[in-house]
Structure 1
Amino acid sequence: MAVPLNVETVRDAPKVLLHDHLDGGLRPATVLELAEAVGYDALPSPDASGLAAWFLATSHSGSLVRYLEGFGHTVAVMQTPDALVRVAAECAEDLAADGVVYAEVRFAPELHVSGGLELDAVVEAVLEGFRVGTARAAERGRRIRVGCLLTAMRHAARSREIAELAIRFRDTGVVGFDIAGAEAGFPPTRHLDAFEYLRQQNSHFTIHAGEAFGLPSIWEALQWCGADRLGHGVRIVDDITVAEDGTATLGLLAAYVRDKRIPLEMCPTSNVHTGAAKSLADHPIGLLADLRFRVTVNTDNRLMSDVSVSGEMTALAETFGYGWDRLQWFTVNAMKSAFIGFDERLALIDDVIKPGYAALMA
């Protein structure tokens, strides 16, 4: 008989996370302690619970620009090697405790140099933190592998430099590249030289597209830049027409995304908070999953949106009536879409994910 599906049992299920920002997932208490250590006195609350509430209230504004304001505080306390190691280690520990067996966590090295660190030193500190956190999790019986994505800010001009940084570290923990930041006015085609370089180096990259901006952002990310995955991609729904009888007709771009099995790194709660979706029930993930797009479930920013992978999956199950089979499907989709080698992905699917869900569905 199947195990009842609730947040506690979902936490025990093996899960895969592809879209999670390091500077959006700090523990509130850690933000406070790091701020005290570096003399940062601009935090909006002096205690952990108040700080957590502030981040959530700011994020739940319906505006991506307002949502991004909270990162000013987290980035400010992540400017030393010790801080970066600690934050990355706690990230790996927290994800492992939530039942995540594979994660790709992204951050923008260029945002962590105001204290005098060189880009290479920033990456080295974060990778060391992931190693420390992974080891600590293993000591508690929780196995997780963490890959790192290096992000370039789309409003800046360092994307080629960050792409080269990703290649330098791809044998020591960096598995891919990303661009992020406000979409409007900063199309991905501004960074074509970075994407061309990555393709020449046989590397992988994802692009934030179709979150706060529409189909042109998705089209450019795919057809001009050659993205392997789409960060969010919720606005692909604008290219789908649903008739009164429920029949869905896909436009050329939506059909291309589905036919090519392009992964969608969907972050439902975050999308509600930024106004990309009115509510969880209205989120395009329900339709896209039914139409068999390659949908994956992600957190985006665990601190800002007060979310976990287990919480996201449980909320989707409650909203759309999903069972263990659909949660396994989301998980396998994500593992298939990871930026590590085929044999490694297959081993996690066959040896960890499928047996884990089989035990829950028995």
Structure 2
Amino acid sequence: MTSLDRPDGPEQDLDATLRALPKVLLHDHLDGGVRPATVVELSAEVGHALPTTDPDALARWFVDAAASGSLPRYLETFEHTLAVMQTADGLRRVAREAALDLAADGVVHAEQRYAPEQHQRAGLTLQQVVDAVREGFAEGEAQAREQGHEIRVVQVLSAMRQADRADEIAALALANRDAGVVGFDIAGPEDGFPPSRHASAFRTVREASFPATVHAGEDGGLDSMAEALHVAGALRLGHGVRIADDVRVEPDGTYRLGTLAHWVRDRRVPLEVCPSSNLQTGAAASVATHPLTTLLRAGFEVTVNTDNRLQSGTSLSRELGLLVREAGWTLDDVLAVTVAAARHTFLHEDERRALVDRIVRPARTPGTARPGRHRA
């Protein structure tokens, strides 16, 4: 790992250290991480109109449009990325580039989620969508390896919670469980579309011993998270930041937890927290006051994620750097949440242990900087 005692200053050292740290990403949307230049090129090919055709200006537009403070408005920005992801070639390219971009940021394992039902406008079957994405990830992994980066990218299939195709997507996930699909999810507007609308799909995957994660606790509150856990049987909570509503910090600095918060903490349910995205959708006011720091200190199983790299103009290294710089995190905290993410991938236990070892080994290597010894 890169030493922090270099002459070019602590800011550069922190960035280099975070990029060099092997990282795990549990919550990242494929259609939220398209390169702006790719959106421009593929939009021209399919005749889709964009706010601007300058890639840099388009990148700024996505961030500004997503920063409205409204989750529904945030979700509207995806019309431009989905428009270029309707063919097998488009999907393969986007998936390949996602794997390369993540690998360049030091991500060694990524669980990319997307909703196959949103990629059928040009006639692709659901299976063709999954196949194209899988092929793109494999191409990206191979190219990253040639560039000296090792990464594994797997799929989490999301059903749109405002639609009625969850049973189809659950069956699709199970049909591809030995072909790179590791989990099932529901995504989209949280308020008004609870997990109970898709109870049969969750029952199907649960009875097949297949893991599920659910977007909950971002736009909705404790009831939404309770349904995700107790109706959907979620093994992870996508976002989950609103569990902080059930945690009180006493004047002496101790934490008083409500019933649901105890359930989540006691059972080590991972929270897939996405700081910058939460600021944009109004789930948090600032990185400095983001509830994930309180949750981490209170003993919850916190992981840090990107959600949508294009809409937030971010990377996993950047998200972690913001927490160090603005929320007072040490790099020991960074290592802790990274290990937590590795422990809660939807891989098998032996694979998770190997992933944890890959993360912590650099911190134990003599002659390298241990992550927790420095602040920014």
| TMscore range, shorter length | over 0.9
Of the candidates 272, 294, 297, which is equivalent to residue 279 of structure 2? Answer: 272
Matches within 5 A, 1:179-258: 179-258=186-265
Counterpart CA distance in 1 for 2:82 and 2:56 is 19
Whether 2:362 is the aligned partner of 1:353: answer: no
Deviation at 1:147, TM superposition (A): 1.1
Q: Which structure 1 residue ranges, 5 or more long, are not aligned?
A: none
- Could you say what secondary structure the match of 1:6 adopts? helix
After superposition, residues 1-362 of structure 1 pair within 5 angstroms as 3-4=3-4, 6-40=14-48, 42-350=49-357, 352-358=358-364, 359-361=368-370
Task: State how far apart, in whole Å, the 2-side matches of 1:247 and 1:291 are.
Answer: 8
Contact 1:324 1:360 in 2 (8 A): no
Q: Is the 8 A contact 2:304 2:320 kept in 1?
A: yes
Q: CA deviation at 1:304?
A: 0.3
Q: Given that residues 297 and 312 in structure 1 are in contact (C-alpha distance below 8 angstroms), is that contact kept between their aligned partners in structure 2?
A: yes
The two structures have a TM-score, normalised by structure 2, of: 0.94
2:369 partner SS: helix
Task: Report the Cα distance in structure 1 between the residues aligned to 2:287 and 2:59, rounded to whole angstroms.
Answer: 21
| Contact 1:55/1:70 (8 A) holds in 2 | yes
Question: 2:214 touches 2:236 (CA, 8 Å); kept in 1?
Answer: yes
**TM-score, with length taken from structure 1:** 0.98
Whichever residue aligns with residue 178 of structure 1, its letter is: D
Q: After superposition, what is the alpha-carbon deviation per residue over 1:200-224, rounded to whole angstroms, capped at 9, x for unaligned?
A: 1110110000001111000010012
Q: Give me the whole-angstrom Cα distance separating, in 2, the residues matched to 1:180 and 1:38.
A: 26
Q: How far apart are the structure 2 equivalents of 1:39 and 1:258?
A: 49
Structure 1 residues 112-146: Cα deviation after superposition (integer angstroms, max 9, x where no partner): 00111110000000000000000000000100011
Task: State the 1:246 CA deviation.
Answer: 2.3
Partner deviation per Cα, 1:316-336 (whole Å, 9 max, x = no partner): 111232222211111110010
Structure 2 CA distance for aligned equivalents of residues 6 and 153 of structure 1:
38
2: distance between equivalents of 1:2 and 1:208?
A: 35
Distance 2:235 2:262 in 1: 16
SS at match of 1:312: helix
Contact 2:272-2:305 within 8 A present in 1 as well: yes
2:150 partner SS: coil
> Secondary structure at 2:28's aligned position in 1?
strand
Preserved contact between residue 246 and residue 261 of structure 2 (Cα < 8 Å)? yes
Q: In 1, distance between residues paired with 2:39 and 2:196?
A: 35
1:360 and 1:116 mapped to 2: Cα distance? 52
Contact 2:2 2:20 in 1 (8 A): no
1:185 aligns to what SS in structure 2? coil
- Letter of the structure 2 residue corresponding to residue 197 of structure 1: T
Matching residue of 2:8: none
Offset of residue 292 of structure 1: 1.4
RMSD over aligned Cα atoms? 1.2
CA–CA distance in 2 between the matches of 1:357 and 1:93?
A: 25
What's the offset of the Cα at 1:157? 0.3
SS at match of 1:32: helix
Q: Deviations over 1:79-127 (max 9, x none)?
A: 0000000000000000000000111000000000011111000000000
**What CA distance in whole angstroms lies between the structure 1 residues aligned with 2:231 and 2:70?**
27
Q: Which runs of 5+ in 2 are unaligned?
A: 5-12, 372-376
SS of the residue corresponding to residue 191 of structure 2 reads: coil
Is the 2:287–2:327 contact (alpha carbons within 8 Å) kept by the matching residues of 1? no
Aligned residues of 1:324 and 1:357 also touching (Cα < 8 A): no
Number of residue equivalences = 360
The letter for the 2-side match of 1:356 is P
